[in-house]
């Protein structure tokens, strides 16, 4: 059992468990949230050596793959997590993660809960093989649905209630996606690329086809000159067909069902808002950074507002990484763990902050050692 000052994972009941409780006093840990708004001159640097702390990054939709979670079942609480998930979701999530079929796992309604549960199961593995990494964690961020895992880890939400909210969110996003042909397009641009202008050109093209209110916008800010566009399919087709003229080095359609993080997800906001009213939310016990603006969550109502706003706002991941690591001075950086399937967040970190990336580790979810 970890010492009293350590973070701990608790099984509260068959349906409500896995709330992280950071027992170390906030003054001793770091970039901690004060009881009130911080004064401008305070709370700008870690109170501890950054290299003695850790930061967790939780992946989002698109990181899922068949076989994920296979290496996690031997660790405490993981089987119980998937058992609880089956009760909440109404289907065998563990079987879907381990054996597919891939086309089912890829569906929004399935992959969001799968990534959420597998990511928190990966924390169990890290807590077993390197408990100090969990004990010294001072900040967390999650990409899109990964933000829910970050909030559970921070103690702001309970596992089962957050999973139910993820279920409602995924179903609402899937339904919104089916209203109109839409999608997402990953783009790497040259320095002279003008992304807002590209969106404007794409929308003008759609209007020439008779569309009245076309949607095309940057949905993800990943790294310098790395963007994901989202919107009506005709707009994305235009961007691909005119990629050279728009100074794009590479374009790649993403295997998702709709234009996430744009106004085309507006119909999904009300179901999520309603379910979040039913979920108990506490102030995070470590810093958790919002996708909407890269800033820290300050209180319970802030969490509720931003999680809903996130559905129709771009994921500002590049800005979030800068916010997390700007406090680190010189060559000293916290150790960063990507906790969940895939290594995409590590790749973005490498492009945003090479020095911070030298202290990066991906927590394996398939059974192989890092």
Minimum mean pLDDT range among 27-36, 140-149, 182-191, 194-203: 27-36
Instruction: Please tell me which residue in 30, 232, 261, 335 is annotated as part of the active site.
Output: 261
Q: Which residue has the tokens 């076309």?
A: 214
Q: Tell me which residue has tokens 């957050």.
A: 162
3-state secondary structure of 250: strand
Residue 14 pLDDT greater than 50, yes or no: no
CA 41 and chain centroid, separation? 30
Q: Rounded distance, CA 337 to CA 174, Å? A: 30
* Residue 290 annotated to the active site: no
Query: Is 32 designated active site?
Result: no
Name the nearest CA neighbour of 184 among 129, 237, 125, 117.
Answer: 237
Residue 37 has pLDDT above 50, yes or no: no
pLDDT of 230 above 70: yes
CA angle 317, 65, 114 (to 5 degrees): 75
Average pLDDT over residues 272-281: 97
pLDDT at 49: 72
When pLDDT is cut at 50, 70 and 90, the band that residue 31 belongs to is very low
Q: Residue 40: pLDDT above 80?
A: no
Question: What tens digit of pLDDT does each residue of 245-275 get?
Answer: 999 999 999 988 899 999 999 999 999 999 9
Burial (0-12, 13-18, 19+ Cβ within 10 Å), 68: buried
What is the sign, positive or negative, of the torsion defined by CA atoms of 312, 317, 318, 319? positive
Whether 7 has a pLDDT exceeding 70, the answer reads: no
* Cα–Cα distance measured from residue 38 to residue 302, given in angstroms and rounded to the nearest whole number: 16
* Torsion sign across C-alpha atoms 70, 71, 73, 74: positive
Q: Which of 63, 119, 144, 257 is catalytic?
A: 144
Q: Quote the CA–CA distance of 215 and 240 in Å, as a whole number.
A: 16
Q: In this structure, are residues 17 and 82 in contact, taking their beta carbons and an 8 Å threshold? A: no
Three-class SS of residue 68?
coil
| Model confidence at 9: pLDDT above 70 | no
- Taking the CB of residue 311, how many other CB atoms lie within 10 A of it? 25
Nearest-angstrom CA–CA distance, 150 and 284: 9
Interatomic CA distance for residues 201 and 208, integer angstroms:
11
What SS3 state is found at 294? coil
- Residue 113 near residue 335 (C-beta atoms within 8 A): no
Query: Could you read off the pLDDT of 289-304 as tens digits, one per residue?
Result: 999 999 999 999 999 9
Listed in sequence order, the residues at least 6 apart from 29 whose beta carbon sits closer than 8 Å to its beta carbon are 22, 47, 48, 138, 286
Q: Across residues 269-291, what is the average pLDDT?
A: 97
User: What does the pLDDT average to over 124-138?
Assistant: 96
For residues 165 and 368, what is the distance between their CA atoms, to the nearest angstrom? 31
pLDDT at 63 over 60: yes
Reduced to 3 states (helix: H, G, I; strand: E, B; else coil), residue 248 is strand
**Beta-bridge partners for 183:** 231
Q: What per-residue confidence (pLDDT) applies to 292? A: 98
198: left (phi over 0), alpha (psi -120 to 50) or beta: alpha
Domains, the chain, ordered by start: 48-176+265-363 (3.40.366.10), 179-256 (3.30.70.250)
Distance of CA 290 to the CA centre of its chain: 9
Question: Comparing 336 with 9, which gets the higher pLDDT?
Answer: 336
pLDDT recorded at residue 19: 40
């Amino acid at each position: 059992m970890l010492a009293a000052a350590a973070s701990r994972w608790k099984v509260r009941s068959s349906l409500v468990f896995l709330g992280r409780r950071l027992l170390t006093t906030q003054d001793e840990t770091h970039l901690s949230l004060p009881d009130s708004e911080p004064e401008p001159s305070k709370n700008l640097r870690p109170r501890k050596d950054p290299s003695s702390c850790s930061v967790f990054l939780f992946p989002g939709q698109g990181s899922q793959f068949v076989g994920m979670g296979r290496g996690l079942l031997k660790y405490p609480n993981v089987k119980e997590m998937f058992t609880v998930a089956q009760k909440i979701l109404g289907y065998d999530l563990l079987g879907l993660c381990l054996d597919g079929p891939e086309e089912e796992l890829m569906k929004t309604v399935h992959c969001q809960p799968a990534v959420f549960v597998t990511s928190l199961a990966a924390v169990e593995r890290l807590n077993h093989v390197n408990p100090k990494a969990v004990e010294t964690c001072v900040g967390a961020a999650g990409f899109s649905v990964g933000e829910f895992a970050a909030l559970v880890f921070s103690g702001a939400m309970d596992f089962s209630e957050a999973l139910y909210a993820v279920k409602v969110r995924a179903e609402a996003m899937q339904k919104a996606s089916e209203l109109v042909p839409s999608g997402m397009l990953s783009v790497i641009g040259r320095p002279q690329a003008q992304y807002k202008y590209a969106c404007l050109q794409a929308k003008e093209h759609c209007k020439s086809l008779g569309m009245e209110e076309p949607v095309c916008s940057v949905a993800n800010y990943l790294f310098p000159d790395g963007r994901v566009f989202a919107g009506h399919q005709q707009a994305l087709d235009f961007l691909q067909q005119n990629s050279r003229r728009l100074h794009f080095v590479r374009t790649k359609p993403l295997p998702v069902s709709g234009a996430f993080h744009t106004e085309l997800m507006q119909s999904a906001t009300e179901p999520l808002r309603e379910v979040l009213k039913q979920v108990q939310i506490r102030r995070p016990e470590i810093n958790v950074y919002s996708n909407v603006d890269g800033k820290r969550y300050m209180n319970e109502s802030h969490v509720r507002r931003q999680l809903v706003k996130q559905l129709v706002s771009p994921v500002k991941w590049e800005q979030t990484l800068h916010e997390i690591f700007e406090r680190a001075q010189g060559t000293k950086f916290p150790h960063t763990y990507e906790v969940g399937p895939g290594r995409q967040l590590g790749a973005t970190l490498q492009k945003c902050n090479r020095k911070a990336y030298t202290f990066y580790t991906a927590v394996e979810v398939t059974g192989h050692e890092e």
